A and B are shown apart, each in its own frame.
Chain A
Amino acid sequence: DVKVTQSSRYLVKRTGEKVFLECVQDMDHENMFWYRQDPGLGLRLIYFSYDVKMKEKGDIPEGYSVSREKKERFSLILESASTNQTSMYLCASSSVEPANYGYTFGSGTRLTVV
């Protein structure tokens, strides 16, 4: 069964900490994405990547960075966590043609920054 795995379902971090959210896919997908989901705001794209070592900013990249050293792994980094980054974070991957197959999502990481 193909899958996108996010390393943690729940995380609690302190303000100012550096936080790593990990995402691994086993489908040999080229594209990977990080979204955050907040009530009333839907899904907002943070960063995405079309290839190893490649990254593109999404709609809300401020306060975040990403790393893609291997094709199967896409990490989201909160350089200095703040309380307004408390949210559900969703990772997704797709083949080169998401128009045909859509995205596959992980189960999400609910991050609380205190």
Chain B
Amino acid sequence: GNSVTQMEGPVTLSEEAFLTINCTYTATGYPSLFWYVQYPGEGLQLLLKATKADDKGSNKGFEATYRKETTSFHLEKGSVQVSDSAVYFCALSDKSAGANNLFFGTGTRLTVIP
């Protein structure tokens, strides 16, 4: 079946530190992969996506590369800011499996301290 596993949080970093949030997936077909971000008190916003192997999604300084060989889609940012404090969700959509839904990880809370 389809599933997403994210690294456990919470993650606390100092401003300007390097960020990695690990995400691995299991899919029966050829998934698209997503990272969503949820700021305090808000809904989820699409941060970036990749629809096929070796694609790199990027936005707001965040990047993630679709690695089929390791079934991973790790989120990275070179220098985090206080404003990046949020919960980050990895997700997949596996259209080829006949499903039309997104499967979400459990989320990773990031806190960036000045």
- B100: interface (CB < 8 Å): yes
Q: In the complex, A103→B32 CA distance in Å?
A: 12
Contact between A90 and B43, CB atoms less than 8 A apart: yes
In-complex Cβ contact of B101 among A42, A96, A98, A100 (8 A): A98
Stretch among A13-21, A65-73, A77-85, A105-113 lining the B interface: A105-113
Point out the residue from B42, B51, B89 that lies within 8 Å of A108, measured CB to CB. B42
Mask of A12-49 contacts with B, CB within 8 angstroms, 1/0: 00000000000000000001010000001111010010
The residue in chain A whose Cβ has the minimal distance to the Cβ of B94 is A99
Tell me how many residues of A have a C-beta within 8 Å of chain B.
26
A64 at the interface (CB under 8 A from B): no
Are A102 and B49 within 8 A (Cβ)? Answer: yes
Q: For residues 20 through 63 of chain B, which have their beta carbon under 8 Å from a beta carbon of chain A? A: 31-32, 34, 36, 41-46, 49, 51
Interchain CA distance A28-B90 in the complex, whole Å:
26
Q: Mark B79-94, 1 if CB is under 8 A from A, else 0.
A: 0000000000101011
Number of interface residues, chain B, beta carbon within 8 A: 24
Cα(A37)–Cα(B102), bound, Å: 15
Q: Are A42 and B107 in contact (CB under 8 A)?
A: yes
- Separation of A107 and B102 alpha carbons in the complex (Å): 18
CA distance A106 to B15 in the complex (A): 29
Give the residue of B44, B49, B94, B106 whose beta carbon is less than 8 angstroms from that of A40: B106
Contact partner of A100 (CB less than 8 A), chosen from B32, B45, B94, B104, is B32
B68 within 8 A of A: no
Of B43, B51, B107, most A-chain CB atoms within 10 Å: B43
Q: A99-B93, A102-B49 are in contact. Are A107 and B42 (CB under 8 A)?
A: yes
B105: A residues at CB distance < 8 A:
42
Give CA–CA (A103, B49) in the complex, Å. 11
B interface list, Cβ under 8 A from A: 31-32, 34, 36, 41-46, 49, 51, 89, 91, 93-95, 100-102, 104-107
